[in-house]
Amino acid sequence: MKHFILGAAALVCATAAHAQSWDMPTPYGDSTFHTQNIAQFADDVRAATDGALDITLHSAGSLFPHAEIKGAVRNRSVPLGEFFLSRLSNEDLAFGVDSQPFVATSYEDAARLWAAQEPVITELLAEQGLIPLFSVPWPAQGLYTNGEIATVDDLNGLRFRAYNAALEEFATLVGAAPVQIEASNIPQAFATGQVEAMITSPSTGVNSTAWDFVTHYTAINAWVPKNIVVINQRMFDGLDADTQAAVLAAAEAAETRGWEMSAAEAESMTAALAENGITVYEPSATLIEGLQGIGETMLGTWDAAASDSARAVLNAYNN
C-alpha cells in the first residue's frame, strides 16, 4: 500500500513537472486587437495541450519594456514575446521594409511584402536562436493633428510622436521634432504637451482616445507595419512533438485571424474616430505628393545603407 501511494505521488509530480507555465510579454495594451489575438493564441495552445502548456500574457510592457522584449526572448528570460518588427531595422534593414512610406500601402501589398520578408528574416532571427511564430499587420497608418493638414509644410515645427527610426526620419524630413513614445504612453504624452501630432493606425488612435487631444485624422495609408511573435529556439526544441505541433498550429491560426482582425479594424476604428468627434478628411493630392516625395528620399537613404538581405526582400517584393 505504501508503495502504491508513493508511486501515485511520483506520478502526480511527474505530471505537474511536465506542465509548463510560460510568460509572454507584449508592449501593447489589453484593448489592442493584437493583444486580443495573442490571448486567443494562448487559449488555443492551452486547449490543444490539455493545459500542459499554459501561456500567461503580460501586456502594455508590464514585464519588459518594448526595447527589451527581443533580448529577453533571446536570453531565455521568457520563452516567447511580441514586438514591432521594424524596431529591429537597426540590426538589419530587412526588418524595416514594412515601415518605409509608400512601399506597401494595402493589405494585398503587405501580404506580398511579408511573403518576401519572412524567409529572409527567419534566417536572420535563426542566427540569434529565435524562430518567428506569426506576424500580423496594423491597419494602414494615418495622420492625427489639430486642424487640417493641407501640405507637408503644415507639419513643419510640430512635436511629432515616433515609434521607430523610420518615423523619426520622416518627422525630421518634414521639419517636425520627433519624440519616441510607446503606444501605451500616447495619451500622457499629448496631455503633457510632449507631442502634438502623430502617425499611427485608427486602432491605436481609438485605443488611446485620440479625440481627447487631436481634432483631425486623415488616412494617408502610407505604410502597413507589422508586429511579430518570436519564440526561443531552445525553448521550442524542449517541447515534446505534440506540444510543438500545437504551438505551430495555433500560431498559423493566429496569423490568419490577426490579418482579418486588422482589416476589420481599419474600417470600424476609422468610423469610431468619427463617432467620437474627430474630423476624418480625405488627404489632398498636394499632401500625398509631398508625402510621396519624403518616401522617395527615405528609400534613397534606405537603399544606400541596405544589406544584401534587405535588398533581397525588396527585390523579391518588386518582382
- Position of minimal CB gap to ligand PCA: 201
The DSSP 8-state label assigned to residue 213 in this structure reads T
Is 129 or 258 the residue whose CB approaches ligand PCA more closely? Answer: 258
Nearest distance in Å: CB 46, ligand PCA? 27
Shortest spacing between CB 84 and ligand PCA, in angstroms:
6
101 sits near ligand PCA (criterion: CB under 6 A): no
Q: Contact letters (x/-) for ligand PCA, 165-204, by CB under 6 A?
A: ------------------x----------------xx-xx
3-state secondary structure at position 275: helix
Selected from 64, 144, 163, 302, the binder of ligand PCA by CB under 6 A is: 163
Cβ proximity to ligand PCA: between 42 and 222 the closer is: 222
How many CB atoms within 10 Å of residue 126? Answer: 12
Of 216 and 226, CB closest to ligand PCA: 226
In the complex, least distance from residue 69 CB atom to ligand PCA, rounded to whole angstroms: 13
Distance CA 248, CA 141 (A): 29
Query: Which DSSP string do the residues of 30-95 spell out, in sequence order?
Result: TTSHHHHHHHHHHHHHHHHTTTSEEEEEE-TTSSS-HHHHHHHHHTTSSSEEEEEGGGGGGT-GGG
Minimum distance from CB of 119 to ligand PCA (Å)? 24
Provide, rounded to whole angstroms, the least separation between the CB of residue 60 and ligand PCA: 12
Long-range contacts: 7-12, Cβ < 8 Å, 24+? Answer: none
Comparing CB distances to ligand PCA, the nearer of 29 and 293 is: 29
- Residues 291-310, one symbol each (x = binds ligand PCA by CB under 6 A, - = not), give --------------------
Q: What DSSP character marks residue 133?
A: E
Using the CB atoms, write b or e for 231-263: b if 16+ within 10 Å.
Answer: bbbebbeebeeebeebbbebbeebbebbbebbe
Binding to ligand PCA by residue 138, rule CB under 6 A? yes
Spell out the residues 6+ positions from residue 315 whose beta carbon is closer than 8 angstroms to its own: none
* Binding of ligand PCA by 137 (CB under 6 A): no
Annotate each residue in 200-229 with x if it binds ligand PCA (CB under 6 A) or - if it does not, as one string: xx-xx--------------------x----
Which residue, 104 or 250, is less far from ligand PCA as judged by CB? 104
Q: Is 91 exposed, middle or buried (0-12, 13-18, 19+ CB in 10 A)?
A: middle
CB of 125 to ligand PCA, least distance (A): 20
Label residue 168 exposed, middle or buried (CB < 10 Å: 0-12, 13-18, 19+). middle
**Among positive and negative, which fits the CA dihedral 259, 263, 265, 266?**
positive
d(CA 187, CA 177): 18
In the complex, the smallest distance separating the C-beta of residue 278 from ligand PCA, rounded to whole angstroms, is 16
CB of 80 vs ligand PCA, minimal distance in Å: 20
Which residues between 11 and 50 bind ligand PCA (CB under 6 A)? none
Residues 6+ apart with CB under 8 A from 68: none
Residues that bind ligand PCA (CB under 6 A): 84, 138, 141, 163, 183, 200-201, 203-204, 225
